[in-house]
Amino acid sequence: MNNVSVSVRDLSLSFGAVTVLDTLNLDIKNGEFLVLLGSSGCGKSTLLNCIAGLLDVTGGQIFIKDKNVTWEEPKDRGIGMVFQSYALYPQMTVERNLSFGLRVAKLPQAEIDKRVARAAEILQIQPLLKRKPSELSGGQRQRVAIGRALVRDVDVFLFDEPLSNLDAKLRSELRVEIKRLHQSLENTMIYVTHDQIEALTLADRIAVMKSGVIQQLADPMTIYNFPENLFVAGFIGSPSMNFFRGEIKDKGGRKVVEVNGVDFGMEAYPARGSLEAGRKVVLGVRPEHVKVDESVSGMEVHDAVVDIEEPMGADNLLWLKHAGQTMSVRIAGSRRYAPGTALKLSFDMAMASVFDAVTENRI
Amino acid sequence: MDDTVTLKGQAAHAAARRLAPGPQGKKPRPMFSPRNIMIYGALIFAAAYYLLPLYVMVVTSLKGMPEIRLGNIFSPPLEITFEPWVKAWSSACTGLNCDGLSRGFWNSVRITIPSTIVSIAIASINGYALANWRFKGADLFFTILIVGAFIPYQVMIYPIVIVLREMGLYGSLTGLIIVHTIFGMPILTLLFRNYFTSLPEELFKAARVDGAGFWTIYFKIMLPMSLPIFVVAMILQVTGIWNDFLFGVVFTRPEYYPMTVQLNNIVNSVQGVKEYNVNMAATILTGAVPLIVYFVSGRLFVRGIAAGAVKG
């Protein structure tokens, strides 16, 4: 247990008759960057607020550094928190914003000055210390908000969608900064977001949540390539995974997924169990796991016709009708195909995912 | 400086050369268009409608009684006299006392200031607790408080008289101050609760993570952001309590009567001649305080809102 920083056990939370979290379990390792990912209303922010102590749990326990903090006040949990709306105190200067918590805790002035100076240096906000929050840009404000967590000298950082209020350019800049901060501080960080790019780029592990339940907890590449169920598969990836509803059939000793009369051979697919014939399934293939006009041995080759072309610079996205479905294929930006062009699709079945049509779990 | 001016001038010249002949720039609008006549006509009429009685009061209060008896209430005073104002303030008779409104003025001050401060202090803490610390039964508490606002005052007068009597406070200024404080509670609590609810909740959460408790958050975070709503509450309370007549006459003794009650006694005294000029002066004096409060803090109020609009 020594390696565990934050541990959530059988956590439940309900508001009246509405259950938001139901016996949720989660262990976060020391120094780990964990991202809670999900669409709005999935309970990810609620979980974070429970860990912070801003919401009273209905049942279960929360441990931080092996200490049961289920009923502790937020300030006694050893956490720092960064909010989406920055939540800087508008009437105080940046310096006083940073030092507010320390002054409340009645730390000696010399210690306060030292910690504020250090945080300001790490985040490069020294020139802003005398300014009011209203005189700062969005990116500067969020930096100050991170600084406020930094001066608390805590083990665990909690981020509640910290970049959602920033424009796209600033968001990617600060994303890199947060990653750098994590690399240099090596603190435990729990980060809530609905943005899958942030999740994939920042996380050591991602917990994908839906209606209060963790759907999958794994490192980003596993989540991306081997989604545990249909929801995770559809939630991660842009454009999203191509789904084909079909049925497993045995054709002359060869296992295939038949979709509207088109057969996808399953020889290369790393199935967990047996693919018994007659089972209704959903076959998922990511747009970049389909090659166009490149014959690689062992791949499933089908004929298709281009419907729409979307050049995106680095990539080129082709939309086509195949096996009665609309699907997308991602190819290099330099390769262009006019609508109506006939081409050959090669499906990399080793990277495909097959889900049971009823349970929606990976087979 | 000169350089920029010439640069601008050149740019303007260049622009003028590019433009085709014909209409350009701001569209001229005639001053006496039908639209303007309608708007200003209506505004001037409405203003005159409300200002005329005030004009009559001011004019009458500056006339001597012989002039008033001539009957031209709209005519300006031929001989301006401040005698009625002095009399209204210091020597008009209410029953046996003949020391004018001054005593009532000081009574009203002694009632209004503590009532306003105490009611705003309590109501702001109520509103803060209801908005941010959702304690058990908060909704029920709030509902009861709001229902209280809908019960007519008159229903509660006699029970309050009994309660004050039992507490030994009936007829005292303290008793009246308590009554004003309690009756201000529902509307002020609602006002503060709604204001604090409108402040971003994350600020409150951030302060809690920073380790601030109930009072630290109230004084260090909430109060500095709430100047506008405190000014609104102050205007409401000062005007309401100063203008109150019913509670003043019911819950106090004659030596503690507020200004409004004393004004009524001066105006309605039946002995001797009706001194219209003194009555008018007394009425203006009584109404002056809420007006001054409004004009002074109304400006502060607007400034407060403007300062709050720049989001932090």
Q: Which of A260, A337, A347 is nearest to A305 (CA)?
A: A337
Please name the residue of chain A whose CA is at the shortest distance from the CA of residue B211.
A75
Structure confidence at residue A160 (pLDDT): 93
Q: Are A332 and A316 in contact (CB under 8 A)?
A: yes
d(CA B269, CA B92): 10
Question: Among partner residues A74, A91, A145, which is closest to B208 by beta-carbon distance?
Answer: A74
Confidence class for position B229, pLDDT limits 50, 70, 90: confident
Chain A: nearest CA to B130, how far in angstroms?
16
d(CA A82, CA B49): 57
Q: Does A81 touch chain B (CB under 8 A)?
A: yes
Structure confidence at residue B310 (pLDDT): 39
d(CA A3, CA A29): 6
Q: Does A73 touch chain B (CB under 8 A)?
A: yes
Q: Which of A233, A271, A264, A234 is nearest to A248 (CA)?
A: A264
Confidence class for position A236, pLDDT limits 50, 70, 90: very high
Q: Does B155 touch chain A (CB under 8 A)?
A: no
Asked if the model's pLDDT at residue A2 lies above 60, the reply is: yes
CB atoms within 10 A of CB B152: 7
Q: Does A112 touch chain B (CB under 8 A)?
A: no
Structure confidence at residue A272 (pLDDT): 86
Buried b (16+ CB within 10 A) or exposed e, A214-249: bbbbbebeebbeebbbbbbbebbbeeebbbbebebb
The conformation of residue B5, written as its DSSP 8-state character, comes to H
Structure confidence at residue B98 (pLDDT): 77
Task: Please state whether beta strands A18-29 and A33-37 pair in parallel, antiparallel, or not at all (unpaired).
Answer: unpaired
The conformation of residue B221, written as its DSSP 8-state character, comes to I
Q: What is the pLDDT of residues A159-214, one digit of tens each?
A: 999 998 888 888 999 999 999 999 998 899 999 999 999 999 999 999 999 998 99
Asked if the model's pLDDT at residue B311 lies above 50, the reply is: no
What's chain B's Rg over C-alpha atoms? 28
Judged by CB atoms closer than 8 Å, whether chains meet at A84 and B312 is answered as no
Structure confidence at residue B99 (pLDDT): 80
Q: What is the pLDDT of residues B135-153, one digit of tens each?
A: 888 889 889 888 888 888 8
- Mean pLDDT of the region B233-255: 90
Residues of chain A neighbouring B208 (CB-CB closer than 8 A) = 53-54, 73-75
Asked if the model's pLDDT at residue B167 lies above 80, the reply is: yes
What is the spatial order of strands in the sheet that A315-322 belongs to?
A: A290-292, A342-347, A300-311, A315-322, A325-332
Task: Please state whether beta strands A262-265 and A254-259 pair in parallel, antiparallel, or not at all (unpaired).
Answer: antiparallel
Please name the residue of chain A whose CA is at the shortest distance from the CA of residue B202.
A87
Confidence class for position B9, pLDDT limits 50, 70, 90: low
Share the mean pLDDT of chain A.
Answer: 91
Residue type, B82: F
Q: Does B42 touch chain A (CB under 8 A)?
A: no
d(CA A348, CA A299): 6
Judged by CB atoms closer than 8 Å, whether chains meet at B202 and A85 is answered as yes
Mutate to test the interface with B, among A54, A146, A165 (most CBs of B within 10 A): A54
Lowest mean pLDDT among A272-281, B47-56, B131-140, B301-310: B301-310
Q: What is the pLDDT of residues A255-291, one digit of tens each?
A: 899 998 888 888 888 888 888 888 999 999 999 999 8
Structure confidence at residue B308 (pLDDT): 43
Superfamily of domain B102-311: MetI-like (1.10.3720.10)
- Percent over 90 (pLDDT), chain A: 64
Residues of chain B neighbouring A75 (CB-CB closer than 8 A) = 208-211
- Mean pLDDT of the region B165-191: 91
Asked if the model's pLDDT at residue A91 lies above 80, the reply is: yes
Please name the residue of chain A whose CA is at the shortest distance from the CA of residue B208.
A74
Asked if the model's pLDDT at residue A6 lies above 70, the reply is: yes
Asked if the model's pLDDT at residue A11 lies above 50, the reply is: yes
Please name the residue of chain B whose CA is at the shortest distance from the CA of residue A150.
B210
- Mean pLDDT of the region B247-272: 86
Q: What is the pLDDT of residues A190-205, one digit of tens each?
A: 999 999 999 999 999 9
Q: What is the pLDDT of residues B245-256, one digit of tens each?
A: 999 999 988 888
Confidence class for position A221, pLDDT limits 50, 70, 90: very high
Residues forming CATH 1.10.3720.10 domain(s) in chain B: 102-311
Query: Which residues 173-202 on chain B approach chain A with CB closer than 8 angstroms?
Result: 200, 202
- Mean pLDDT of the region B198-202: 89
Residues of chain A neighbouring B220 (CB-CB closer than 8 A) = 89, 100
- Mean pLDDT of the region A29-58: 92
Asked, as a colleague might, if the bond just before A133 is cis with ω within 30 of 0, I would say: no
Structure confidence at residue B307 (pLDDT): 47
Question: Among partner residues B206, B220, B310, which is closest to A87 by beta-carbon distance?
Answer: B206
Structure confidence at residue B64 (pLDDT): 87
pTM of the entire predicted model: 0.81
Structure confidence at residue B47 (pLDDT): 95
Confidence class for position A300, pLDDT limits 50, 70, 90: confident
Q: Does A155 touch chain B (CB under 8 A)?
A: no
* Tokens coding A322: 């195949």
* Partners of residue A11 on adjacent β-strands: A24
Asked if the model's pLDDT at residue B84 lies above 90, the reply is: no
d(CA A179, CA B158): 70
Chain B: nearest CA to A51, how far in angstroms?
11
Structure confidence at residue B312 (pLDDT): 36
What is the spatial order of strands in the sheet that A67-68 belongs to?
A: A18-29, A4-15, A59-64, A67-68
Judged by CB atoms closer than 8 Å, whether chains meet at B200 and A87 is answered as yes
Judged by CB atoms closer than 8 Å, whether chains meet at B203 and A79 is answered as no
Residues of chain B neighbouring A148 (CB-CB closer than 8 A) = 206, 210
- Mean pLDDT of the region B215-244: 90
Please name the residue of chain A whose CA is at the shortest distance from the CA of residue B132.
A54
Share the mean pLDDT of chain B.
Answer: 85
Q: Does A148 touch chain B (CB under 8 A)?
A: yes
Asked if the model's pLDDT at residue B42 lies above 60, the reply is: yes
CB-count exposure of residue B110 (10 Å: 0-12, 13-18, 19+): middle
Judged by CB atoms closer than 8 Å, whether chains meet at A54 and B207 is answered as no
Asked if the model's pLDDT at residue B227 lies above 90, the reply is: no
Asked if the model's pLDDT at residue B264 lies above 70, the reply is: yes
Chain B: nearest CA to A54, how far in angstroms?
7
Residues of chain B neighbouring A54 (CB-CB closer than 8 A) = 205, 208-209
Judged by CB atoms closer than 8 Å, whether chains meet at B211 and A74 is answered as yes
Q: Which of B284, B229, B269 is nearest to B82 (CA)?
A: B284
Judged by CB atoms closer than 8 Å, whether chains meet at B203 and A89 is answered as yes
Judged by CB atoms closer than 8 Å, whether chains meet at B224 and A91 is answered as yes
Structure confidence at residue B30 (pLDDT): 80
- Mean pLDDT of the region A220-233: 94
